[in-house]
Amino acid sequence: MSEENRPLFSCSGVHVFIGEKEIVKGVDLAIPHGEIHAIMGPNGSGKSTLVAALMGHPAYTLEGRVFLEGEEITALSPDEKARKGLFLAFQYPVAVPGVTVASFLRAAVTARRGEEVSVREFRKQLLTRMEELEMDAAFASRYLNDGFSGGEKKRLEVLQLRMLEPRFALLDETDSGLDIDALKVVAKGINAAAANGTGILLVTHYQRLLNYVKPDVVHVFIDGRIAHSGGAELALTLEERGYDWLEQQAAMGGA
């Protein structure tokens, strides 16, 4: 496959297990450069398990193959995948008392680039990105996610996305728990990352985020599989009709 036709991110034959239990039951994805793909589906369908396993979460066993710009990264550890340019925004970010946001981000940026970043350059970039996300400069001195509200945690995830400038980002329900103002700010950060060349695979339950982040493709995830794919309008149909109509279509041979 030529460079220009090669997808930015792809996976094939992906099955994910927790112990003996199969959660993801065969997923194939190919996401070109410059595209945003959304995954929607009912609770418990395996959406979050899929993105965590693609990143290499140790709780899961992944079978299949994962590629980033044509390079197979399936067997790499999470930190190796991150250095290659794969990024995961967590649904439930953890607190790290004693480590400031600024210290964490500078270490992460240094690891991503493979070289030390100067304090002056880092601080300039950090303040610019924080201003984009309407975050007070004092936020950088707080301990990582310690005592943060849900909205603050999600803004920090998007701040990491903007600072690290990954090649491809897996965003797991970045919109959960956000009020409308915070949602708009987070969406602005996601759109800015995409405009800068980062590919996006976005897991969400709700159409409301997709009012601000327009996906090129929407995939519907049901029982560990992609049951249906379509354009951005598919999310609107799901909002109106729910997921039952797809299951009924499948039973009738129409999906």
* pLDDT tens, residue by residue, 50-73: 999 999 999 999 999 999 999 999
Could you tell me the CA-to-CA distances from 124 to 15, 131, 155, 191 in Å, in that order?
A: 43, 11, 18, 21
- Percent of the chain past pLDDT 90, that is, above it, reads 75
| Rounded CA separation 134/214 (Å) | 22
DSSP 167: S
Give the number of other CB atoms < 10 A from CB of residue 45.
21
Tokens of 226: 């992609």
What is the mean pLDDT of the segment spanning 231-250? 82
* pLDDT tens, residue by residue, 154-171: 899 999 999 999 999 999
What is the mean pLDDT of the segment spanning 92-117? 92
Q: What's the confidence (pLDDT) of residue 206?
A: 81
pTM, rounded to two decimals: 0.91
Question: Is 3.40.50.720 the CATH number for 3-91+167-251?
Answer: no
Q: Is the pLDDT of residue 38 over 70?
A: yes
Where along the chain do its domains lie? Answer: 3-91+167-251
Tokens of 159: 């701040």
DSSP 5: G
